Amino acid sequence: MALAGLKAIEFAGLAPGPFAGLILADNGADVIRVDKPASSSNDILCRGKRSIAIDAKTNSGRDVLKKLISTADILIDPFRPGVLERLGLGPDVFLGNANRKGANERLIYARISGFPKTGPHKDMAGHDINYIALSGVLSMLPGTVEKPAFPVNLLADFAGGGLMCVLGILLALITRSNSGRGQVVDVDMVSGTRYLSSFPLLQTLLPNSVFPRPRGENLLDGGAPFYGIYTCKDKGLMAVGCLEPQFFEAFIKGFLGALPNGFALPDGWRPAARSQGNREAWPKLKEFLTRGFQTNTRQFWTDVFHGTDACVVPVLSPKEASEYEVFRSPFPQPHPAILGFSSVSKGTVSEALELQAGSHTEKILCELGLTGDELQRLAKDRAVENTLRCPKTRL
């Protein structure tokens, strides 16, 4: 696999860090999550990872972590700015500076923060909703006239945070293949969200933008009746997205043909293909579609539009999506698929949802080649939970 042979150290965190580690592990990297001793983890993005539980605040624990990171290719830092630096595990320790050589100058040191590291919010706590709020894009999302709705914690945590972090890591690895040196990858979720939202944000600068009107009145934010979600007779939902005229024509033809004979609005109005381009007709079109979808079930409308270019599909629940013939699993599979010859295969994707903190501590420390004295020191400092013993090592 693409990242086979690379070692990544992921300090335990929430959402973006674990997701970045998951992507690396899914593509062959040996990802070691660093947990605190006697801790529990609610991290379900743990597939393919190992865990070491060690106290970084003890001298012996910190020394071992420094040794571990010195053998790694990638480090994922999910903490607020300055946390690892105060522990003596900052970038300069490994990458060096003008005054001294680093302990691992090939390391890709990836840092994920919520707010920009140099801005006025840099020392504040926050979550996804706060980061997308400052990005500018939350104000553009669908919702009501009074306020937008937020898309759970997808935009900042996973797209602007975790995925952008992996992109930075891969770019830094490519650079390292030429320079031989590692780099610091700085990701903040406000900036990451702004970057992935380039299309809507740049649209606001154009005189002929697709977002010229208040929220809920534009083409892509719920204003267009041919780009939205409709409720069926059985409360199931259908997603309609026929933006282009030829797709709208296919939709209207199929929709009108499937409605009861003579179906129309109370005033007798019925849409035609030209109704799409007539903004004044959009309120009537939306009412017609709303009433029309309620005449039958989701399965009925699914059958009507399946295999057509009407751009209409059912809204599936997580359980239904897991049964979709392409997936056939409740576990999201690694993506994209890399096609072509590969001499390395990880086999079936693990379905683990839990990685017990410290479940690989002894094996990882033994791989580092710790001496008996070093293991004794860890136990004495309570940097680890249990007494450790490596083959051919006497305590």
Residues assigned a catalytic role:
127, 157
Total residue count of the chain as it appears in this document = 395
How far apart CA 284 and CA 268 sit, in angstroms, is 11
Helix/strand/coil percent split, the chain, to 5: 35, 10, 50
Token duo for residue 90: 């900052």
Q: Do 320 and 10 form a contact (C-beta atoms < 8 A)?
A: no
Question: Over 9-55, what HEC string results?
Answer: EEECCCCHHHHHHHHHHHCCCEEEEEECCCCCCCCCCCCCEEEEECC
**What contacts 388, CB < 8 A, 6 or more positions away?**
361, 362, 365, 366, 375, 378, 379, 395
How far apart CA 109 and CA 68 sit, in angstroms, is 14
Looking at residue 205, what DSSP letter applies?
A: T
* E strand segments, the chain: 7-11, 30-35, 49-53, 74-77, 108-113, 184-188, 227-231, 237-241, 312-314
How far apart CA 295 and CA 255 sit, in angstroms, is 11
How far apart CA 55 and CA 32 sit, in angstroms, is 15
Distances (CA, A) of 209 to 74, 160, 206, 228: 41, 24, 5, 19
Cβ neighbour number for residue 14 with a 10 Å cutoff: 15
Token duo for residue 160: 């602007």
Taking alpha carbons only, the member of 366, 380, 364 closest to residue 52 is 364
